[in-house]
Amino acid sequence: MTETATHTSNVVVVTHPLVRHKLTKLRDETTSTTGFRRLARELSLLLCYEATRDLRLEPVEINTPIEQMTGERLSGKKLCFVSILRAGNGILDGMLDLVPSARVGHIGLFRDPETLRPVEYYMKLPDDIGNRDCIVVDPMLATGYSASAAIDRLKNAGAENIIFVCLLAAPEGIACLSKAHPDVKIITCSVDRELDDHGYIRPGLGDAGDRLFGTK
């Protein structure tokens, strides 16, 4: 059986052939805005499958059209997806396709072009965030500053069990987030080579927000 994910410390790289194929198309500069959105949604669904791998189950009695049986259903804490605005919304929909009952939180951050540090402008979370497993979504883990800041805010609000999911990660971003939050698992499609002087991932896919929403 071919492995579909590789695990290194707290980082999981999803290597399923469909993920690798779709990621290549996502990176291609000739991919249209419509195509980019579709591919991001499809990849997020596949990433969500990996991110929810360890959800707890409990037995439940049901009747099939043929007979009674013992099935399984999710138990324990419920899920909350937390999107880092604005680009996080580009992979949020695919997550909700798989887990439509999940609650959704938003943390608005933009990156200061001089310092590359995040500036918060919005946050809205479920009141019971401390009783939920949280999956934080953002297409890119570049410097790691925004992801670390968002998870700081989540933990301050009471969240304890947190996973970070992104399409691409840079080694610098992984190092930053892992240092700030060593308890947070990172799930991604690829760990790329490096950041350039402007904080963009290389080879990367450009600015995910601009490509998702057709802006520059």
* Binding-site residues for 5-phospho-alpha-D-ribose 1-diphosphate: 86, 111, 138-146, 207
List, by residue number, the catalytic residues.
111, 115, 207, 210
Is residue 109 within 8 Å of 120, Cβ to Cβ? yes
Residue type at 105 in one-letter notation: G
> What end-to-end distance do the CA atoms of the chain give, in Å?
43
Write out the binding residues: 86, 111, 138-146, 201, 206-208
Burial label for 211, CB within 10 Å (0-12, 13-18, 19+), is buried
Write out the binding residues for uracil: 201, 206-208
Cross-strand bridge partners of residue 194: 202
Tally the C-alpha atoms within 13 A of residue 156's C-alpha that lie toward its C-beta.
Answer: 7
Scan for tokens 């997020």, then name that residue: 44
